């Protein structure tokens, strides 16, 4: 799978600096700074009297501890996700606070795609069997699509019917946006050993990138360690 952060919120801190004296200690454009500014604005708490919350990380730890999660809704992160399975797509779309633009199987040709091998099958003979099976599935897809097209069925309608022969492991690309609270929800359920192994991997990739842009907002999450041991920081 390929997971690329393609957009994230920019914080224009100027008005806070002018009117309140708030100066962020983290990158002025960052999501963590925006969350802190939004939170401090609630109580006009600009003076940082409490040493435990005087710094951005401590401030956001307190926000997380008190589940004052609405301040994390102001920033969003958008990912281009490529080469994940349709199975994963069905699971990810259950998260109702994410926004999706998914590659269409009705408009896009589905030939010449490698199946997405589930982690448990990688490096086993089943990986080859799955690849062979997907070739057979694709052959049926092409045969049915072409037959319908020959009979005058419009291309989109032919593809939408022929895709019935494709496997759950068919790869898909999508652009997905969520605010930081929504991503925390996703990670809390999918970066977990009870979750499907492929979506655990996706969650781990997403967490890595979210920690780059908002380490304070995700400080209580830790990723996959080793092969499949998962830990969420206290
Ligand atoms: C290990 C695992 C196994 C699963 N197995 C199955 C399965 O067998 N069958 C199946 O159908 N699904 C299954 N799911 C999907 C699961 O039921 C949820 O649909 C999915 O995890 C999304 O979580 P969510 O609904 O809590 O949160 P999201 O949609 O991400 O929403 C986040 C939070 O917002 C709040 N919220 C959102 N919408 C509402 C609402 N309408 N009313 C009130 N509060 C709301 C809730 O607090 C919710 O937790 C599984 C998920 C996991 C992680």
Q: Residue 225: pLDDT band by 50, 70, 90 thresholds?
A: low
CATH number, domain 76-103+171-230, options 3.30.70.3180, 1.20.58.1180, 3.40.50.920, 3.90.1150.10? 3.30.70.3180
Res 224: pLDDT: 64
Average pLDDT over residues 86-95: 98
Protein residue whose Cα sits closest to atom 2 of ligand 1: 195
Domain range annotation of the chain: 6-73, 76-103+171-230, 119-165
With a 6 Å cutoff on the Cβ, whether 196 touches ligand 1 is no
Res 197: pLDDT: 95
Per-residue exposure over 181-213, b if at least 16 CB sit within 10 Å of its own CB, e if not = bbbbbbbeebbeeebbebbbbbbbbbbebbbeb
Res 227: pLDDT: 46
Residues annotated catalytic, as ranges: 190
Q: Residue 229: pLDDT band by 50, 70, 90 thresholds?
A: very low
Average pLDDT over residues 172-191: 96
With a 6 Å cutoff on the Cβ, whether 185 touches ligand 1 is yes
The pTM for the full model equals: 0.93
Say if residue 81's pLDDT is above 80. Answer: yes
- Residue pointed to by tokens 């960052």: 30
Res 107: pLDDT: 94
């Amino acid at each position: 799978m390929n997971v690329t952060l393609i957009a994230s919120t920019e914080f224009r801190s100027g008005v806070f600096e002018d009117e309140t004296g708030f100066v962020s200690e983290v990158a002025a454009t960052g999501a963590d700074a925006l969350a802190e500014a939004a939170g401090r604005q609630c109580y006009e708490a600009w003076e940082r009297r409490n040493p435990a919350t005087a710094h951005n990380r401590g401030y956001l730890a307190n926000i997380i501890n008190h589940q004052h999660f609405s301040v994390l809704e102001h920033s969003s992160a958008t990912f281009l996700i490529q080469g994940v399975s349709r199975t994963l797509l069905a699971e990810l779309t259950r998260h109702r606070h994410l926004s999706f633009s998914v590659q269409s199987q009705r408009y896009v040709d589905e030939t010449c795609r490698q199946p997405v091998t589930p982690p448990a099958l990688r490096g086993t003979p089943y990986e080859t069997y799955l690849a062979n099976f997907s070739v057979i599935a694709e052959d049926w897809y092409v045969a049915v699509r072409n037959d319908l097209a020959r009979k005058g069925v419009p291309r989109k309608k032919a593809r939408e019917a022929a895709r019935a022969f494709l496997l759950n492991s068919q790869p898909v690309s999508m652009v997905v946006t969520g605010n930081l609270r929504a991503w925390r929800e996703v990670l809390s359920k999918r970066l977990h050993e009870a979750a499907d192994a492929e979506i655990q991997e996706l969650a781990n990739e997403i967490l890595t990138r979210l920690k780059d842009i908002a380490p304070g907002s995700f400080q209580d999450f830790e990723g996959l360690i080793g092969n499949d041991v998962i830990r969420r920081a206290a």
